Amino acid sequence: MRELTPDTMTDAVLDQMASTPDPRMREIMAAAVKHLHAFAREVNLTPGEWIKGIEFMTKVGQNCTPTRQEFILLSDTLGLSALVNGLHDRTAIEEGTHTSLLGPFYRDETPTLPAGSQIASRVKPGSECALYGRVTDVQGKPLANATVSVWQTGADGLYDIQENPETPDYRGVFSTDADGRYLVRTVKPVGYSIPMDGPVGQMVKTQGRHGMRPAHIHFLVGAPGYRELVTALYLRDDPHLADDVVFGSSDDLAVDVVPDDPDCPIKGLPSIRFDLKLAREGAADKTSGRVGSDPAAIMKQKEAAVPS
């Protein structure tokens, strides 16, 4: 029998897992064990610190509900979501609009609306603006009938899924016209804090971080034969554009709210123009999925996995 010591433990675990039938699972779990064991050795992890970590992960799981995904929030604040997203970008066969994070507040059940519809149920005076642009391929060819799903916070910095999960608000799905154009009425997005009342928020506070996201609007754009685009626009004048707590913002996604844009389809409204370029679909797009999910969908998958 092999003597198990801090020096031999990793090899013993890897040897036992070597019979894993699925080659990708075998590869991922072997790498995870190697890095976890190396981490414990590097910091000389104590039993007390180990149990604190277990307690933290337990609380993260307990805070996951059909309307809140604390584990995605944890991944976001550790930069893991942005890293996985960046690795996924490398599989594209051509470069389209830069991607950003889906975030923990996306929801599958979003109303389909006619062009120019207002997505906000409450519009404060002076906050309304037009959001418009074109969806094209990377050469600039317009893509007709592309789906453009948008979602954002309200003026109070909260998503509908946080305030009233039963009633979708500040979100909608639109289609482009024959020239690839889309048009949305909305309100100017505001910067906001991630939820700070859970274990992830407590972690962020303990680290001395501000917990703020710059003002943004999320996009999920698709067209047959093209790579699904998950991205967001960010307001250029937001003070946290350069230090987004979830590492999702970038300069090439920064835009301005223009008071008197002569090209705005809705005259008299301040406007944001955001054009989007879709890359052609590649082999990796059929199996890789997206970085994020509707929290309710994740909970349904969890329930389906539990044997009765």
The H or E element that residue 148 is part of is strand 147-151
Sequence length of the chain is 308
SS3 150: strand
- Quote the CA–CA distance of 144 and 182 in Å, as a whole number: 10
**pLDDT grade for 236, boundaries at 50, 70 and 90:** very high
Average pLDDT over residues 269-296: 86
Instruction: Please tell me the predicted confidence (pLDDT) of residue 164.
Output: 83
Calculate the average pLDDT of the chain. Answer: 93
Nearest to 104 by CA among 84, 80, 74: 74
Q: Where on the phi/psi map is residue 219: left (φ > 0), alpha (ψ -120 to 50), or beta?
A: beta
- Quote the CA–CA distance of 296 and 282 in Å, as a whole number: 29
The string of pLDDT tens digits covering residues 179-200 is 999 999 999 999 999 999 999 9
Average pLDDT over residues 144-172: 91
SS3 160: helix
Answer yes or no: are the C-beta atoms of 219 and 231 closer than 8 Å: yes
**Portion of the chain with pLDDT greater than 70, in percent:** 97
**pLDDT grade for 308, boundaries at 50, 70 and 90:** very low
Total H helices, total E strands in the chain: 8, 11
Which tokens hold the place of 130? 């037009």
Instruction: Please tell me the predicted confidence (pLDDT) of residue 303.
Output: 53
Other C-beta atoms within 10 Å of 145: how many? 12
- Quote the CA–CA distance of 69 and 81 in Å, as a whole number: 13
Residue 124 scores a pLDDT above 90: no
Nearest to 149 by CA among 131, 127, 122: 131
Residue 172 scores a pLDDT above 60: yes
Exposure letters 202-217 (e unless 16+ CB within 10 A, then b): ebbeeeeeebbbbbbb
